[in-house]
């Protein structure tokens, strides 16, 4: 004989959930949602760093897809989850094919998928090279501001590598109140250097534009140095080039030899993420067998736990956190949704009846 279930033992009725509509956001919409909002986006990225520091994120290691027949190329998967007031999960899938540049095509291409916090269903796929460049530039502008505290504010900026990231970083610096007496430019490609110079002239930002024929000349002439190259191994070997102790935004991660790293105060975005994949700080760890050369993280500086020195070269090496892409991507989605211009794909999810 079967004993009837009591009310307390019966399973609770399922809470109804709705599958979100699926939208595709092309690059034009992404750019429109982000254009001219540099200060707001830097604040957004700072908030994401603080959430990450508080443990309200999940940011697993990035996964690298490499190719034996194309050793300089890779595609990277950055899964992540971020909490806060508008929690969201997702994945950035970004490729880097340096040979594209010689054919006149940008090196990087990317998409970002956003997943609903409650159901796990993806609800958006957007063009993400702009998202990626934006979060990188916002992070760089935030670091430049906070890491220059206590020292004379840099008046001469130099860019080593003059692609999309360099352009976005300059835009974010100017958009958040920076002004420079001189802007230095160096690139192994003369065409790229000339193109970046043209962008600088058209931007109308103040400052003399100087194209340097060597990285050494640019570094020695700059108070703020931005590395945005495609270098796969260190090509900056001499600590003496940094004797004037500039602030260095080492965005491309693999330009500096361990000797330069070890002679500097080093800040990263996330220790475990950054000390991997043969980055310059990873090579320094392999050289020394310890991590004592790290001063801390950018979040440590934001929270007041670490004060960057003013009498040493300070190097910020951000590996790039997927949670920043999610924060910027969710911002884009909300802006476009609020405008009523989402491109929704009707019936994208077809098999929604469990039993057919």
Residues 134-192 have pLDDT tens digits of: 999 999 999 999 999 999 999 999 999 999 999 999 999 999 999 999 999 999 999 99
Give me the pLDDT at residue 329, please: 98
Give me the pLDDT at residue 107, please: 86
Of all residues in the chain, the percent with pLDDT exceeding 90 is 87
Please tell me the distance from the alpha carbon of residue 262 to that of residue 301, in angstroms, as a whole number.
Answer: 20
pTM attached to this predicted model? 0.92
- According to DSSP, the β-strands at 208-211 and 70-82 are unpaired
Q: Is the confidence at residue 9, as pLDDT, over 90?
A: no
Please tell me the distance from the alpha carbon of residue 63 to that of residue 273, in angstroms, as a whole number.
Answer: 11
The side-by-side arrangement of strands in the sheet containing 208-211 is 208-211, 182-186, 156-160, 224-227, 247-250, 314-317, 265-268, 294-297
Residues 77-110 have pLDDT tens digits of: 999 999 998 899 999 999 999 889 888 888 889 9
Please tell me the distance from the alpha carbon of residue 203 to that of residue 205, in angstroms, as a whole number.
Answer: 5
What residue ranges define each of the domains in the chain, with the CATH number in brackets? 23-131+322-345 (3.30.1780.10), 137-317 (3.40.50.720)
**Tokens 């992404």, located at residue:** 30
Give me the pLDDT at residue 220, please: 98
């Amino acid at each position: 004989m079967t004993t009837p279930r009591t009310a307390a033992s019966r399973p609770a009725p399922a809470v109804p959930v709705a599958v979100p509509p699926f939208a595709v956001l092309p690059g034009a919409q992404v750019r429109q949602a982000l254009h001219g909002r540099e200060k707001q986006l830097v604040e957004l990225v700072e908030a994401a760093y603080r959430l990450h520091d508080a443990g309200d994120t999940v940011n697993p290691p990035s996964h690298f897809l490499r190719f034996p027949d194309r050793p300089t190329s890779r595609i990277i998967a950055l899964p992540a989850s971020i909490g806060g007031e508008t929690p969201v999960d997702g994945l950035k899938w970004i490729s880097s094919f340096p040979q594209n540049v010689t054919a006149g095509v940008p090196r990087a291409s990317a998409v970002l998928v956003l997943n609903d916090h409650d159901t796990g269903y993806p609800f958006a796929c957007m063009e993400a090279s702009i998202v990626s460049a934006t979060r990188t530039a916002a992070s760089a502008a935030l670091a430049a501001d906070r890491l220059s505290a206590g020292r004379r504010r840099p008046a001469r900026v130099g860019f080593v590598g003059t692609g999309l990231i360099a352009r976005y970083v300059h835009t974010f610096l100017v958009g958040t109140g920076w002004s420079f007496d001189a802007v230095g430019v160096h690139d192994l490609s003369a065409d790229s250097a000339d193109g970046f110079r043209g962008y600088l002239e058209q931007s109308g930002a103040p400052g003399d534009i100087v194209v340097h024929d060597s990285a050494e000349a640019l570094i020695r002439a700059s108070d703020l140095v931005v590395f945005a190259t495609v270098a796969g191994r260190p090509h900056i070997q001499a600590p003496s080039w940094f004797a004037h102790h500039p602030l260095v935004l080492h965005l491309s991660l693999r330009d500096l030899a361990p000797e330069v790293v070890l002679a500097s105060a080093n800040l990263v975005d996330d220790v475990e993420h950054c000390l991997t994949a043969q980055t310059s700080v990873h090579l320094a760890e392999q050289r020394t067998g310890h991590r004592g050369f790290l001063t801390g993280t950018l979040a440590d500086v934001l929270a007041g736990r670490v004060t960057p020195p003013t009498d040493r070269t300070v190097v910020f090496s951000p590996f790039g956190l997927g949670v920043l892409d999610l924060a910027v991507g969710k911002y884009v989605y909300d802006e476009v949704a609020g405008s009523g211009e989402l491109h929704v794909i009707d019936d994208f999810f077809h098999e929604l009846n469990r039993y057919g």
